[in-house]
Structure 1
Amino acid sequence: MQNTSHAVMAQRTEPSDSPDDFPTPPWATRALLEHVIGSAGHKEQSCLEPACGAGHMAKVLKEYFGEVRASDAYEYGYAPVRDFLTYPYETNAVDWVITNPPFRLAEDFVLRALSVSRRGVAILARTVFLESSGRYNRIFRDTPPSAFAQFVERVPMVKGRLDMNASTATGYAWLVWDKGSTGGPRLVWIPPCRKELEKLSDYPHVPNSRIKASLRSR
């Protein structure tokens, strides 16, 4: 019998030709800036979000960065349609590349982003992205991340929409390549922060009364 529990069904398992549209909860993007790479000093910097979907991550990045460019390989009505892996970006075109890439293309996104960015790269990925001898040989052996930041809270993602009441059985982490960092990779735990970083404005299509009730329950 098929297991149809919400947590299991919310896992990111997509066909190879899928746009893999699982919007990032805005609080999870704020967590990167507030608890991993720092929230200060980015107003003079540029950032590219190359898998932006409907713009949920890009909108949060605009709270921190002076310039945010966004695009996606599919049409969502938010930004230009550009395939990050084939579009002719110049080397060091932006300061940061920050994104939640399609899981099956995450390796290629990292390698491309390391060329496109001047200062650093951050990708939101399943915790299991650290596994695999293929990824080790292609990325981690020669260009390991400067930080692996594991969420201690779950980051629920639902196909095609933001859902504040969703659940998930999948663990997520931010992998960061800070080109100015010295020393080896460091392990970081992102502390419980959803309650403090989630905002009413993150869910414009949900009645405020429902959002407030949900936030109070956490």
Structure 2
Amino acid sequence: MINRAVMNSRLPSSDDLEFFPTPPWATRALCAFLDKRRLVRGTCWEPCCGQGHMVHALREYFEFVAGSDVFDYGKGFPVVDALDPATKVPAVQWVITNPAFTMAEQIALKVLDAPTFPSLALLVRSNWAEGETRFHSVFAKRRPTWILQFSERVPMIEAAWDPEASTATAYAWFVWARGLPFEQTVFDWLPPGQEKKHSRLRDLDLAIPGEAARRRAAKAEAASEPRSGDLFEERDNG
């Protein structure tokens, strides 16, 4: 499956990466959609798995799920740079991932052009559909089978999953299903209620509740502290 010998050559630090863990319910919403159409089968690779939030849900639907990431987040997943030319897309039925926004186009091109011909699902911002360069490089040649827009928001914050977080960002699944024509894209909605329907108590093992509120409070406190220049200014005026 995944070649563990291919290690990350860029050696990034966690500060360099866009790591926004996926709420497990958002992955189950996709899998339920695919399962209803009898498209969930066999094996799956999650090449940007972080701490395994998506793998946690995918393993409920696929016979085997391999997770890897360009950075070691301490959860035992192989460190593999999916964009390294030496890394080959494995012979799996599906590649399903939430990539860094800056990597999504490269991931899509690599998987869709792979000789192993897996199906692909990317969780990205809804505005990923925009852009002249992306249209010509991806969509003009390989139209997604579905664009599945979440009707409710999928809250994600950097480096942690907090079920209590909120977001102003809209997300959608872009899906290319092998065996179905890439000639026409069906835009569909994942209706409201996905979080309630697909959340599980066991998901809380991966959660850090209250983290978003703590960060907001710390940011507000930092913003309220006088700047050093203000202190000197007050002394001059005193």
Would you say same fold, with TM above 0.5?
yes
Q: What residue number does 1:152 align with?
A: 151
TM-score by length of 2: 0.75
User: 1:92: how far off?
Assistant: 5.8
Q: What residue number does 1:115 align with?
A: 113
The one-letter amino acid paired with 1:150 is Q
CA RMSD of aligned residues (A): 2.1
Change (3 A) 1:181 1:41: closer
Map Cα deviations across residues 150-170 of structure 1 (whole Å, 9 max, x no partner): 000000001111101100000
Separation of aligned partners in 1, 2:125 and 2:40: 26
Q: What are the residue-to-residue correspondences of 1:128-207 with 2, within 5 Å?
A: 128-182=127-181, 184-192=184-192, 193-204=194-205
Map Cα deviations across residues 66-90 of structure 1 (whole Å, 9 max, x no partner): 0111100011122010000116344
Q: Identity of paired residues, percent? A: 41
Matched, 1:33 2:34: no
Matched, 1:72 2:85: no
Name the SS of the counterpart of 2:103 in structure 1: helix
Q: Which moved more, 1:197-206 or 1:124-133?
A: 197-206
More strand by share: 1
Separation of aligned partners in 2, 1:41 and 1:131: 27
Change (3 A) 1:166 1:207: closer
Change (3 A) 1:89 1:27: same
Q: What residue number does 1:19 align with?
A: 17
Structure 1, gaps ≥5 residues long: 1-16, 211-218
Q: Is 1:147–1:175's contact at 8 Å kept on the other side of the alignment? A: yes
Change (3 A) 1:205 1:103: closer
Map Cα deviations across residues 128-182 of structure 1 (whole Å, 9 max, x no partner): 0000001001100111111000000000001111101100000000000011113
Name the SS of the counterpart of 2:176 in structure 1: strand
The one-letter amino acid paired with 1:204 is D
Of residues 99, 102, 120, the one that matches 2:100 is 102
Separation of aligned partners in 1, 2:138 and 2:67: 24
Separation of aligned partners in 2, 1:186 and 1:60: 25
Matched, 1:63 2:69: no
User: 1:115: how far off?
Assistant: 3.4
Separation of aligned partners in 1, 2:89 and 2:61: 23
TM-score by length of 1: 0.81
Q: Is 2:98–2:124's contact at 8 Å kept on the other side of the alignment? A: yes
Q: Is 1:42–1:66's contact at 8 Å kept on the other side of the alignment? A: no
Name the SS of the counterpart of 1:104 in structure 2: coil
Separation of aligned partners in 1, 2:208 and 2:56: 20
